Structure 1
Amino acid sequence: MTKSSKEKMIAGEPYMASGDELFKERQHAKVELQKFNNMDPTKIKARNQIIKNLFGKTTTRLYIEPPFYCDYGYNIEVGDNFYSNYNLTILDCAKVKIGDNVMIAPNVSIFTAGHPVDPILRVEGWEYAQPIEIGDNVWIGGNTVINPGVKIGANTVIGSGSVVTKDIPENVVAAGNPCKVIREINIRDKVYYFRDLKYNFEEA
């Protein structure tokens, strides 16, 4: 039995994105996101309901600052206590799984989609997609790009402006283009919040 373009896309196989089924699903997401992005900012529950209807999995505690963009929505799963700042873009042709307590800064792009390096195949319209996984308690800095097939481990911080092309382990600070581990998260991070500036919890 021949697979549909959608089935090939979900399976991580090369596919054509020009078919009617995928086009209609992308159009549906665009219509719903136009409502979300243009809604009265005080209508938080109504905005969240649009996202819950669009995503494959959500929880009760999530907040996404508009504007937000995605391809389909149903391939996105977010855990509890999710927050993203302005201008998050997720190309969710494959699964994007995001854990609990994840924070995403402005202008972050998460791309599961890719195109052939060979120019002839690319012009013919072939595409592929590989899943992305972001673990619990991750903080992703502004203007970060996460490329197809990447896994980011729990508790990790990705510095702003990073281009994540390979897996990043848990419990580290990583940054750069390409993104690389800078150091492990350690006890000093419980004492200093920025460079040599110390927390003072007694005054909080």
Structure 2
Amino acid sequence: MDAEERIARGMLYTESDAAFLADRRRADLLFEYNRTPPGAVDRRTQLLGRILGSVGRNPVVASPLHAAYGSNVHLGDDFYGNVNLTFVDDVEIRIGDGVMIAPSCTLTTTGHPVHPQLRQDYNRFSEPIVLADKVWLGSNVVVLPGVTIGSGAVIGAGSVVSKDVPPMVVAVGVPCRPVRDITDADLTQRQPPGLG
């Protein structure tokens, strides 16, 4: 089985195995993006289109933006990403429409084996991440490999999301767990404690 198939199956692979992916990295473009003035909206949007795999309408991504590749990230329409957003996108990260991400969040598709002897040559595994439409991640959220967060879900600040989150729930904690449904009662209040 070749490296590309092992990566696609979520199996272990090394940095040497992944060398064929080097041309997909967008480090120089990220460097340029992070030094482009916030008011240069057209230029920033054009750069995002060259950095990311796909970008919907009306993206707002504050600098600095960090990505392992960039080319494996796909943003829907009306995306908002605040400062210090990090994509460890060794495989795909798919983000739906109307998603908001607060400061200093990390979405990492990649993890490493627990046993140190298996971490030679940066041995790792990668699994895709999906954020469905209208997801909101509070500040300092970490989303781990293979996670899907359902439409409309809200993830509280500081949470570590290691398992799938269903749609239309508030989920918080380390590890992150749903604590309640989002209902029409939420149309009349600001936000539950612990978010933002």
TM-score (norm 1): 0.88
| Paired residues for 1:120-159 under 5 Å | 120-159=117-156
Who is 2:190 aligned against? 193
Contact 1:110 1:146 in 2 (8 A): yes
| AA of the residue aligned to 1:102 | V
Q: Of the candidates 38, 55, 74, which is equivalent to residue 41 of structure 1?
A: 38
Shift of 1:94: 1.3
Contact 1:17 1:23 in 2 (8 A): no
| Paired residues for 1:12-51 under 5 Å | 12-18=10-16, 20-26=19-25, 29-51=26-48
Q: List per-residue Cα deviations over 1:30-83 (Å, max 9, x = no partner).
A: 111000001122211111111111211211211100100111112111111101
CA–CA separation in structure 1 for the residues paired with 2:4 and 2:89: 12
Shift of 1:8: 3.5
| 1:89 and 2:86 aligned | yes
Aligned residues: 192
CA–CA separation in structure 2 for the residues paired with 1:157 and 1:60: 22
Contact 1:88 1:106 in 2 (8 A): yes
Larger Rg: 1
TM-score (norm 2): 0.91
Contact 1:66 1:86 in 2 (8 A): yes
Could you list the structure 1 runs, at least 4 aligned residues long, displaced by more than 2 angstroms after superposition. Answer: 5-13, 18-26
Who is 1:200 aligned against? none
| Paired residues for 1:45-194 under 5 Å | 45-194=42-191
SS in 2 for 1:193: coil
Alignment RMSD (CA, Å): 1.8
CA–CA separation in structure 2 for the residues paired with 1:39 and 1:6: 34
| AA of the residue aligned to 1:158 | I
Q: List per-residue Cα deviations over 1:106-144 (Å, max 9, x = no partner).
A: 000001011111211112431110011111011100000
SS in 2 for 1:45: helix
Equivalent pairs: percent with the same residue? 38
SS in 1 for 2:170: strand
CA–CA separation in structure 2 for the residues paired with 1:157 and 1:87: 19
Contact 2:24 2:71 in 1 (8 A): no
